[in-house]
Chain A
Amino acid sequence: MTIEIKKESAALVVKVAGRLDAVTAPEYEKKVNELIADGEINFVVDFEQLEYISSAGLRALLATAKRIKGKSGKILLANIKGGVKEVFDISGFGTIFPMHDSVASALSASV
């Protein structure tokens, strides 16, 4: 898994590539928690290059979303597709996270 961060005016874009699994999910959570500690509260998570996610990945997403929500921030997901989308759909996570077809669309919804 690799994480790339890009600061946009509306939100911080967090691009996650590779696998979000039981081994890598804690790294993702740690990184986002650091960003929250730095004062960031609006996030767009870009899953364009995410190849795989399991319940451990969902758990990390949920934990960070709760923390962001506690700060009255926003976390929007972009580019969820393929097998990753299926995991979101069957777990019901597709309905609890706002999902967007592109980073641009998520950013305009973040304003």
Chain B
Amino acid sequence: MAHKFEKIFAANIDKLAEITEFVEECADHFGLEAKQKFGLLVALEEAFVNICSYAYPNHDGMVEFACDADADADSFVMEISDSGSPFNVLSLPDPDISMDIEDRDIGGLGVYFIRRMTDKVSYRRKNDQNVLKLVLNRTS
């Protein structure tokens, strides 16, 4: 039977520790391998930080984390939803990671991590929300 975890947090960076704990719980329920779990935590931080910075410029808002963590499933799926104005974080370009330390513009690294740390990532608008879906496939 599918086991779904859902939790809503304030879109405030101070919630990062609580969110990390919640997502770790989901990942452990699924049995996500340590290396993938590390990547998942990085991807979710990058997504969450982005929402905290841009989704609600003029007022407080919420972020919902919903996760399918069925221990029998082939992949771990996490959806991150906010009610900010339509914005697809995946539309941002990847950074030039070959550039010298002096010249490097660090922006864009977050979305690069979201892409690289997951097996699949997609964005959609649903019920006036931005929904970012992260998928990590079971490796063993």
Contact = CB atoms under 8 A, between A and B. Distances in A.
Given A83-B39, A96-B101, A23 B14 contact: yes
A66 B102 contact: yes
Please indicate which of the listed interface residues B45, B49, B116 has the most CB atoms of chain A within 10 Å of its own CB.
B45
A87 B42 contact: yes
Given A22-B49, A54-B46, A90-B113, A66 B101 contact: yes
A65 B97 CA distance: 17
Interface stretch (B70-78, B104-112, B123-131): B104-112
A66 B42 CA distance: 24
Contacts of B101: 62, 65-66, 69, 96-97
Given A22-B49, A54-B42, A86 B104 contact: no
A52 B38 contact: yes
Contacts of B100: 96
Interface in B21-70: 34-35, 38-39, 41-42, 45-46, 49
Chain B at the A interface: SS class: helix
Interface residues of A, number: 22
A5 interface: no
B38 A86 contact: yes
12 contacts: A21-B16, A22-B49, A23-B13, A55-B46, A55-B109, A55-B110, A66-B102, A90-B113, A91-B109, A91-B112, A92-B97, A96-B100
Interface in A71-96: 82-83, 86-87, 90-92, 96
A5 B23 CA distance: 32
Interface of B: 13-14, 16-17, 34-35, 38-39, 41-42, 45-46, 49, 97-102, 104, 106, 109-110, 112-113, 116
A54 to B, nearest CB: 5
A17 interface: no
Contact of A54 (B35, B45, B116): B45
Q: Which of B35, B97, B98, B100 has the most CB of A within 10 A?
A: B97
A56 interface: yes
A21 B13 CA distance: 10
Given A23-B16, A92-B98, A96-B100, A86 B39 contact: yes
B16 A22 contact: yes
Nearest to A83: B38
